[in-house]
Amino acid sequence: MGFKLSEIAEAIGGRLEGDPDKYIEFISPFETAGENHITYAGKQSFVDQIPDSSAGAIIVSEKVSIQGRNLIKAPIPYVAFAKVLQLFFPQPAIAGSISPDASIGSDFSFGDNIEISARAFVGDRVTFGDRVRVYPGVFIGNDVRIGSDVIIYPNVSVMDKTIIGSRVIINVGTVIGSDGFGFAPDGQKYHKIPHVGFVQIDDDVEIGANNCIDRGTFGKTWIKEGVKTDNLVQIAHNVTVGEHSVLVAQVGIAGSSTIGTHAVVAGQAGIAGHLKIGDRVTIGPQAGIAQNIESGQIVSGSPEMPHRLWLKVNRILPRLPEMRKKMKDLEDRLLKLESKY
């Protein structure tokens, strides 16, 4: 499958400079793109190499202009390139059928063109919108509501009362609405605290593989519009993740914490419970967050500190043995001087 450059430019909302009839057969990285390939130059180092590139077409920023090359100009070349990938690799068509090997509960209501694969389980009083695709091995509990254009990949578990919006993707092995981690100690043993709430996932969310999102103790755990999570993310009971925030692999968020909008939490960062993380906060990898963070801050380290301070601390750490030796030498010299008087 291929497209003319004019078709690609129109599909991604870019401005074409070059041959509109140039036929593009594939997408490639900048370094390996050939005569009938399209690529993108997101960095200045790649832009500088465009005259020597063999690529048939290159997506660039609106500022770039190079004579004799086929260019598609876009405000953000990386986003435009993502749209080209979607154009060349669309989701397969929905079969529009329910497998006879699927288990469907009572009072199941659904919209147009849904697909439920073999060995999937759908509980009682479940509602689907249009164009919902459920892969093999999926478990959907009772009283679950799912919007339109949702993809649920194999071996996902969606527990009772979960609410899922439209255009949501849930990747392999994720568990949504599992029981929260709550136990009351009496000095001898732990007594289980039932979690009777639910999980709400808003529109345009993508959940990575093997995530665990616990339901609320009371009320809800809430993943708001546009949130993206990587693989192996843990979100505890009654957590709220604000709109268009990103949680990278192995992030863990303890119960009842709130993440603001457009936040980025890097890999293996941990956030303690009952904290408030502001809007547009960036948390560095492996950071340990033990206090509230105001909006707009960039923090790193464990315990967390401003990122610039963390950089200074990390430059000093390898020198600590040497600094300790110098301090010991100075201490010995000072003691010798004092002993003379």
Q: What angle (nearest 5°) sits at the alpha carbon of residue 118, between those of residues 114 and 119? A: 120
Residue for token digits 């929260």? 180
Q: If you compute the radius of gyration of the chain from its CA atoms, what whole number of angstroms results?
A: 27
Beta-strand (E) ranges in 190-340?
Answer: 190-192, 198-201, 206-207, 212-214, 220-223, 228-229, 234-235, 240-241, 246-247, 252-253, 258-259, 264-265, 270-271, 276-277, 282-283, 288-289, 298-300, 305-306
Q: Which of 191, 195, 237, 244 is catalytic?
A: 237
Q: Are 253 and 231 spatial neighbours (Cβ–Cβ below 8 Å)? A: no
Cα 85 to Cα 15: distance, rounded to the nearest angstrom: 17
Confirm whether 244 is a catalytic residue.
no
Taking the C-alpha atoms of 202, 134, 86 and 199 in order, what is their torsion angle to the nearest 10 degrees? 20
Q: Which residues are the active-site residues? A: 237
